[in-house]
Amino acid sequence: MPIPISKEVFQGLEAVRLSGATNMLDRPRVIQILDQMGYEEAAEWVRNHKSEFSHGIFQGFEITDEAVRETEGDA
């Protein structure tokens, strides 16, 4: 089952994936690249959702409004 994430997080993860700059399983490097590329929200999500990130690499990610509400509720 795909992991729900916001549009902004998806865009950041997709930018890193398409760049080919790292293996997506290298979470610390993914975070570093997201920060370098200006995807602060995505970098923060990966930092705070280690398990969901790992599962999403294998199960896929899905953009949902629910993910946005969860993120806003954490603030």
Query: How large is the angle between the packed helices 7-19 and 40-48, nearest 10 degrees?
Result: 90
Q: Which residue has the tokens 């949902």?
A: 64
Structure tokens belonging to residue 59: 């199960």
CA–CA distance, 21 with 75 (Å, rounded to integer): 31
Per-position pLDDT tens, the chain of length 75:
999 999 999 999 999 999 999 999 999 999 999 999 999 999 999 999 999 999 999 999 999 976 555 545 444
pTM of the entire structure?
0.85
φ and ψ of 3, to 5 deg: -90, 125
CA–CA distance, 37 with 25 (Å, rounded to integer): 18
